[in-house]
Structure 1
Amino acid sequence: MAQALELAGIELQCKPNNTAHRTADFGFGRLIVRRGSRFTITVIFTSRGYQPESDKISFTVETGLAPLETSGTKVQFPLSNSLDENKWNATIVRNGGSELSLSICSPANAKIGRYTLKLLCTTQSQSTMFYLGQFILLFNPWCPADAVFLDVENQRKEYVLNDQGLIYRGSRKFISAIAWNFGQFEDGIVDICLELLDNSLNCLQNQDEDYSQRHDPVYISRIVTAMVNCNDDKGILLGKWGPNYSDGVSPTTWNGSITILRQWNKLSCQPVRYGQCWVFAAVACTVLRCLGIPTRPITNFNSAHDTEQNLTIDSFIDENGKLVKESRDSIWNFHCWVESWMTRPDLKADYTGWQVLDPTPQEKSEGIYCCGPAPVKAIKCGDVTQNFDTPFVFAEVNADYVSWLLRKDGSKEQIMVNSRLVGQKISTKAVGSDDREDVTHNYKYEEGSEEERSVFSKADMKNKLLKESEKTFSIKVKTDKLNMNGTDFKVSAILSNQSSVAKSCRLIFCAQTIQYNGKPIKDCAWKDLDNVTVGPQEVKTESLQVLYSEYGESLTEHNQILILALAVEYKTEEILVARKVITLQNPELCIKIVGEPVQYRDLTAEICFTNPLPVNLCDGTFLVEGVGLTDEQRVPCPIKSITPGQEVKVKVEFTPQKSGLRKLAVDFDCNKLKDVRGFKNVIIRPMNR
């Protein structure tokens, strides 16, 4: 009678397995592999080795707190003669003495998450179950059978393995890039991402049903968009759009996702204060890349928030040219979401590819604040019947902007329809470089083209397609190409008369500080001119001076000012309106690296800032962070009060832990100036070279 096998040890071979599965950046302290690909372990027995003629071996993998075979969260499988990559199975690589090397493969549609691996050995006399260890299973964009397969290697490196990147903000004419530390491979982040799934409403309400769907990137990505905001659940971030962030962290201060995720975990799933759209999007990007879903942040300039689902954004102006809040519709000067790559077998048409996911809490979807995945292909062709939330995303990039005059008696008069304003310069970081890639063509046909209007008509479910009228009398707003924060500047209203008769009008010209989501704050310049006459075929310009002394106190951290010009022609009572958002530019931080950039060797960053404002700045703080370079460091300004034009310098020491191209991101904030940004690319040479 054969002696029972006894387990002496197990080698999960984390280093070769993680390296082969492209999870080496998580480290080698645990086994983290991707589904649909084999990994190898070695089982070590004590008294004797495995004898195939007398020992029958099978395996069990389990995920979840209550694994069930019926849910696919518990799978038992025997040894096989060869590996089949379509199911859980194992085969012997080498049987030598007391060591048994095994190759195990998961199917490309396995549930992702934490797994326990067990071995059952049965001899003639008894059966013994051995606990072999735990591993984490992730999506696999390198596996053709996986629903997230992406068949371009440099895109996989960018959208899955790159732990740093750029996010675009500002306005369509003044696009700025900020460096962001996604940090999906940093210590503990993968556990936090899985904890996020376990704290979703779906999991808390029915864990078995939730775990049974964790093979599906459509399901997982939708859970992530719901859990990145905390509006309905134990989600990560609480959104706030000013003005006071004293009980938390201003959204513009964050340099990356790592601190946010760790803080949420440390607070036992209490929300982190505060986020705005690019923070929500960046944290979602971190979680999705960590889980293995190719993901990239997207910025849409002049992004529509259509609350009535009629594909129009209504803006009301009173007879004095001031914005009036008569509608919940709005135009965000920029709005960020993410795109994730996956197949869509749940949809009839071929809508595989990039899917929009938006974790910013704007509108509810199926009762909770989440958005997507909405196929980008469906958005471009106006197929708004497809899941999920395609009509909302279509409006974000395609809605018509309609201006109305609200008269004193309460009556409303349509002034203008602009079908070109919404959805411009849709941007993401280019693959393998810091260039901006414009992806507007993925979302829509060229503005004003027959295809674009045809698609809009197809999607216009409430049949309110509006037409822009041709005008011989027009108005537009012009500004300088670059306006610096802290300076006085001039804007111009340009009246153009293409008719054969003179036009006489009243011109109201004003400026007001706004939030980046379009909400007005305070008037900061005003001009009301009677009897402005523009002769036949004449162009006349009127200017407006905008003073720092008037806008400085109410300017938000996004530095945005709305310029509005309203002209009322006396004879015909024709009304013209023009608008432009100005983003005032902050000075750039100057960052210099001192020392030889070698892994594990001390470096110093010298950071220089010059006060651009005509007032003193107090309570300054530099926030410095870089994945693979340094954890978040807060450095107080060495000078209590920085006078106008004064330069300050600080030095920050750090020791790079990772080689390759790294980004050191720096943010400076003080009492009267927020969100002064800079980043420095540093190439760190490996220590062994």
Structure 2
Amino acid sequence: MSDTAMAVDSVPVAGNCQVDFQFEKNNKEHRTDKISTKRLITRRGQSFKIKLNFTDGFNPSETKLQMVFKTGPEPKNSNGTLIEVPFTKSLNLKRWSGIITSSTSSKLCLAISPSPRAKIGYHTLTLQHAFDLDVQYHIGTFVVLFNPWCSEDEVFLNSDLQRDEYVMNENGIIYVGSSDYMSDISWNFGQFEDDILDICLKILDKAPKYVKNPSKALRRRGLPVHIARIVSAMVNSNDDSGVLVGRWSPPYSAGVYPGKWNGSPAILRKWSENGCRRVRYGQCWVFAAVTCTVLRCLGIPTRVVTNFDSAHDTNANLTIDEYYDVEANSMGESEDSIWNFHVWVESWMTRNDLSPGFDGWQAVDATPQEESDGTYCCGPASVNAIKEGEVEMKYDVPFVFAEVNAHCVNWLIFENGEKMKIDVDESRVGHKISTKSCGTDEREDITSNYKYPDGSVQEADIFEKANRTQNIPIADKTLNLSMTTDLPIHNGKPFTVSLVVSNKTSKKKVCSVNFWAKKRRYHGVSENKCIKKLKQEITISPNEDMKIPVKLDYKEYGMFPDMYNLIKLISVVTDVSTEEKACAIKDISLINPKLTVKMMNFSAVLNKKVHIEVSFQNSFPEILKECVLTLEGAGLIEGEMEVNVPNVAVNELAKIKCTFTPYKTGLKKLLLDFDCDKLRDVKGFLNITVQEK
């Protein structure tokens, strides 16, 4: 690089030395140029080059120099926050090292390599005389991040495809809904957006242990297990000045309904700009998505994972007990619950704190459910340890094991207080565990990573190995009950539930059938009010299956308490003569109308207007009013853009035209969110490749 070029891209330090950090070249080599090309951002175990021009007459070729790296408010040798490094003849990529690649009477060219175990965050570099410490040149500050491309780093991931997806991809898909009919949400992780890196590092510095004793806390700032645990605790605000406060039921006043969010940057910026005051509100997928943003930004490969029919086992006995009265109202006798879905993240790392065999994907959950070592956090829990029932391994393996493996026991409580065990289901939880596939927008089923097949010998053996509960005997049944629906079920349309009662004996049975339908939220809480009831008596011939259709209409179910349109179906059939009972419980999810979006331009070009058209079909038997379309997308729209939409008549196809100007090149994802008076947070997306001019 010429002296003239160096002067343009250089930073004067203390008036004595000009520093050319070669921001663009170094950051590109370290795969951090998407964050910035105006400051130096490096990755552990990988060298970078800088040029120095001494302007005070100092002759570096006649002086023996050494480098001093400092991090934290009170750098010390004792905790590894102050490291003195002599120049050597060759770089040692296994520790902090540096070489002088060339020198003159006033200039130095240096190659420097941070240790693959370096503490992440801001570091300052000083050059000093090896024998006269009064001779010092403060070179400047740079950032060190984890390096999944470095085989010596604990987060090393040996796959270009996976690194591109789990570190570099700023967009993702989160799976929600129910195991019978899942839907997906596109999400803007935005880990390379301007200022997000500084916010992520601020999150680490706001952790209670760091605030109390920075010197002690910094000892572990280079350990991915420790960083994942801090982020898990700090993304929720239950114990600290963390990012998000959770709320699972109205009102959502003084905040944002969780389903409204489309991306992490808006949440993180709001937290930072408001003095690190908690942002209202989050639910599991929001906690997980923000966690993914922070960990990817810091360089830890991370993906968002959804577990359908997820158990929340509060007493760690691997049994989920649910109690109902004769009107199918939840009795609230147990704090256990089954969520239609629950979302966490997996991060890739070596587990040097565990015995061999438990490296790789680790479950990390920021949703505040239970305390872990006195703090609302969860993980990192080795996914392999979960599958093998190694419940003694840290961190929080028993809790995640229960989420995918717990047995479910349903109880009926009569008016006199008598309890009757009506159903035991060993396979009700832990279904269709899902994440976005590498390089595509397809779903990848990773259930087999967490558990052996339901009903298999291996699953039974692992459950027994976990040794947290006794086997629950249940008598052979002569009466069975199941419920089915035709999928998909569309919100705004009528649908039918079929009750199937089976007589397994050679004698005729007279039975009483009860059916209830209630709206519910995704985390397991049902409304007390029934939207549909049925009670009738039937006669079933020997060895017969009788189907009883029950129709539900839009007028009966109407609007839902959240964006997942969930209905809990409960039915109990009773043999009138023997009082034998059979029970069936099923959750269904109604599908919202789709947003269809298309680009009207031939192509998208940097800093040129893009025109799109969004269409939406009103499938409801009523006019849709108060319609608003919100658009967001990293590199496409700065912040959010809202478009007010006229009322949409019954069966009308609304068409909405929007314009925006992309400000970054590459593959980008436009995210859309539609709200109206009858439904909210209908999601859509469009992949857009933005080209140079």
Most deviating of 668-677 and 90-99:
90-99
Deviation at 1:82, TM superposition (A): 1.1
Is 2:655 the partner of 1:646?
A: no
Counterpart for residue 204 of structure 1: 211
Counterpart for residue 152 of structure 2: 145
Counterpart for residue 75 of structure 1: 83
Counterpart for residue 19 of structure 1: 28
Contact 2:60 2:107 in 1 (8 A): no
Deviation at 1:552, TM superposition (A): 1.0
Q: Distance in 1 between matches of 2:600 and 2:592?
A: 25
Contact 1:253 1:623 in 2 (8 A): no
Counterpart for residue 11 of structure 2: none
Note the residue ranges of structure 2 that are not aligned, 5 or more in a row.
1-13
Contact 1:50 1:100 in 2 (8 A): no
Contact 1:50 1:95 in 2 (8 A): no
Q: Distance in 2 between matches of 1:193 and 1:549?
A: 47
Counterpart of 2:679 in 1: which secondary structure? Answer: coil
Most deviating of 484-493 and 464-473:
464-473
Q: Distance in 1 between matches of 2:467 and 2:650?
A: 53
Counterpart for residue 312 of structure 1: 319
Equivalent residue for 1:620, pick from 623, 627, 632:
627
Counterpart for residue 583 of structure 1: 589
Deviation at 1:569, TM superposition (A): 1.3
Counterpart for residue 157 of structure 1: 164
Counterpart for residue 484 of structure 1: 490
1:349-498 correspondence runs (5 A): 349-461=356-468, 463-467=469-473, 469-498=475-504
- CA change 1:411–1:12 in 2 (3 A) is same
Equivalent residue for 2:94, pick from 60, 68, 86:
86
Is 2:44 the partner of 1:38?
A: no
1:102-141 correspondence runs (5 A): 102-121=110-129, 127-141=134-148
Render the CA deviation track for 1:459-512: whole Å, top value 9, x for unaligned: 132x32224554342111111111111122211110122321122211101110
Render the CA deviation track for 1:216-246: whole Å, top value 9, x for unaligned: 0111100000000001100001111122223
Deviation at 1:49, TM superposition (A): 6.8
Counterpart for residue 632 of structure 1: 639
Q: Distance in 2 between matches of 1:307 and 1:174?
A: 27
Counterpart of 2:605 in 1: which secondary structure? Answer: coil
What TM-score, normalized by structure 1, do the two folds share?
Answer: 0.96
Q: Distance in 1 between matches of 2:248 and 2:613?
A: 32
The letter for the 2-side match of 1:17 is N
Contact 1:42 1:101 in 2 (8 A): yes
Q: Distance in 2 between matches of 1:123 and 1:491?
A: 84
1:131-280 correspondence runs (5 A): 131-280=138-287
The letter for the 2-side match of 1:657 is Y
User: How well do the aligned residues superpose, as a CA RMSD in angstroms?
Assistant: 1.7
Most deviating of 547-556 and 581-590:
547-556
Q: Distance in 1 between matches of 2:471 and 2:118?
A: 46
Q: Distance in 1 between matches of 2:44 and 2:59?
A: 27
Counterpart for residue 569 of structure 2: 563
Counterpart for residue 99 of structure 1: 107
Most deviating of 595-604 and 673-682:
595-604
Deviation at 1:672, TM superposition (A): 2.1
Contact 1:7 1:43 in 2 (8 A): no
Q: Distance in 1 between matches of 2:403 and 2:192?
A: 32
Q: Distance in 2 between matches of 1:476 and 1:68?
A: 67
Deviation at 1:390, TM superposition (A): 0.7
Render the CA deviation track for 1:402-449: whole Å, top value 9, x for unaligned: 111111111211111111110000000000001100000000000000
Counterpart of 1:220 in 2: which secondary structure? Answer: helix
Deviation at 1:516, TM superposition (A): 0.5
1:536-575 correspondence runs (5 A): 536-575=542-581
Q: Distance in 1 between matches of 2:457 and 2:670?
A: 46
The letter for the 2-side match of 1:16 is K
Q: Distance in 2 between matches of 1:467 and 1:80?
A: 71
The letter for the 2-side match of 1:593 is M
Render the CA deviation track for 1:19-57: whole Å, top value 9, x for unaligned: 1111111120110000111111111112557454x3011
Counterpart of 1:373 in 2: which secondary structure? Answer: strand
Deviation at 1:199, TM superposition (A): 0.5
Alignment length (residue pairs): 678
Most deviating of 202-211 and 312-321:
312-321
Most deviating of 321-330 and 368-377:
321-330
Counterpart for residue 65 of structure 2: 57
The letter for the 2-side match of 1:589 is L
Q: Distance in 2 between matches of 1:231 and 1:546?
A: 40
Q: Distance in 2 between matches of 1:170 and 1:673?
A: 15
Deviation at 1:575, TM superposition (A): 1.2
Contact 1:239 1:274 in 2 (8 A): yes
1:519-534 correspondence runs (5 A): 519-521=525-527, 522-530=529-537, 532-534=538-540
Equivalent residue for 1:505, pick from 494, 503, 511:
511
Q: Distance in 1 between matches of 2:580 and 2:592?
A: 39
1:292-307 correspondence runs (5 A): 292-307=299-314
Q: Distance in 1 between matches of 2:451 and 2:473?
A: 18
Render the CA deviation track for 1:354-406: whole Å, top value 9, x for unaligned: 11000001111111110001100100000100001111100000000111111
The letter for the 1-side match of 2:198 is D
Is 2:342 the partner of 1:324?
A: no
Q: Distance in 1 between matches of 2:576 and 2:663?
A: 70
Q: Distance in 2 between matches of 1:453 and 1:134?
A: 55
Counterpart for residue 674 of structure 2: 668
- CA change 1:475–1:122 in 2 (3 A) is closer
The letter for the 2-side match of 1:533 is T
Deviation at 1:62, TM superposition (A): 0.8
Q: Distance in 2 between matches of 1:118 and 1:620?
A: 58
- Structure 1 runs (4+) greater than 6 angstroms displaced: none
Most deviating of 423-432 and 513-522:
513-522
Deviation at 1:320, TM superposition (A): 3.1
The letter for the 2-side match of 1:34 is R
Deviation at 1:609, TM superposition (A): 2.1
The letter for the 2-side match of 1:645 is N
Note the residue ranges of structure 1 that are not aligned, 5 or more in a row.
none
Q: Distance in 1 between matches of 2:394 and 2:282?
A: 26
The letter for the 2-side match of 1:11 is D
What percentage of residue pairs aligned between the two structures are identical?
A: 44
Contact 1:298 1:336 in 2 (8 A): yes
Contact 1:493 1:542 in 2 (8 A): yes
Q: Distance in 2 between matches of 1:645 and 1:218?
A: 53
Contact 1:229 1:360 in 2 (8 A): yes
Deviation at 1:147, TM superposition (A): 0.7
Contact 1:623 1:632 in 2 (8 A): no
